[in-house]
Structure 1
Amino acid sequence: MRRILIVVAAAAVAAAAGCASVGDRGAAAADVAVRMLRAAQTGDGSTACALLAPDTVAAIERSAGKPCPEAILDEDLPRPAAVTATQVYGQRAQVRLTGDTVFLGAFPGGWRVVAAGCVPRDGRPYDCTVQGA
């Protein structure tokens, strides 16, 4: 009987740890989203671009014809606002803020913004100010 209780207790701890890691990953994604928007808002293009996914940096530079740290400051990104919801789907995350939605991808160095300044459209994909290819 004691052995069964230990196994059940260990399973409960493992399940709780799994849930905590999803919450931690969501919090980390939300932090990156807010930091990127804050950096862009305060004129710190280098930091903003360091938090973008490589394809997103390339798309911004290609579209603007100038380096990302300059180009990101010309984008009409919303101000960072309160995070209202975060969802993690494997290697992808969606962070909803008041008036904005940010999509992120997991990379070896952590979460990176794939698209930002996104607003939903009925029955169609989000319309995003900044997005990768």
Structure 2
Amino acid sequence: MTQRFLDAFGAGDTAAACGALAPRARDSLTRGGGTCESTLSSVKLPRDPVGSVAVWSDEAQVKTAGDTVFLHEFSTGWRITGVGCRPENEQVYSCEVGGP
């Protein structure tokens, strides 16, 4: 799911990228009244390939060279809950979209 999101985002396919987001992450992009697609097109995210993956039950963390992505497994499959995340300390991350 993460690589599909990164590929779609990198290609400018914000509709497909928004489709990979969990509802809460999508909502974080539409709070200002715009659409997920229009808001996501203005977000700056690293476009590095997937590096490491760690899974804990229905939660996952994917790391790239310049990003940390958080996911949750819903009944419909894995969705991204936070992207563009950088650690503030050992336990807290700040994310461009959504959050852990």
* Greater gyration radius: 1
Aligned 8 A contact 2:83 2:99 in 1? no
What is the correspondence of 1:74-89 to structure 2 with a 5 Å cutoff? 74-79=42-47, 81-89=48-56
Deviations 1:5-59 (A, max 9, x none): xxxxxxxxxxxxxxxxxxxxxxxxxxx1121122122111110010000111111
Which residue pairs with 1:115 in the alignment? 82
Q: Quick one: distance in 2 between partners of 1:67 and 1:97?
A: 27
* Superposed displacement of residue 132, structure 1: 5.2
* Superposed displacement of residue 82, structure 1: 2.9
Identical amino acids, percent of aligned pairs: 38
Which residue pairs with 1:33 in the alignment? 2
What is the correspondence of 1:1-133 to structure 2 with a 5 Å cutoff? 32-63=1-32, 65-79=33-47, 81-123=48-90, 125-131=92-98
Which residue pairs with 1:18 in the alignment? none
Q: Which has the higher helix share?
A: 1
Deviations 1:78-98 (A, max 9, x none): 11x232211111110000111
**Alignment size in residue pairs:** 100
Q: Which runs of 4+ in 1 moved over 6 A?
A: none
Which structure 1 residue ranges, 5 or more long, are not aligned?
1-31
Q: Quick one: distance in 1 between partners of 2:99 and 2:28?
A: 5
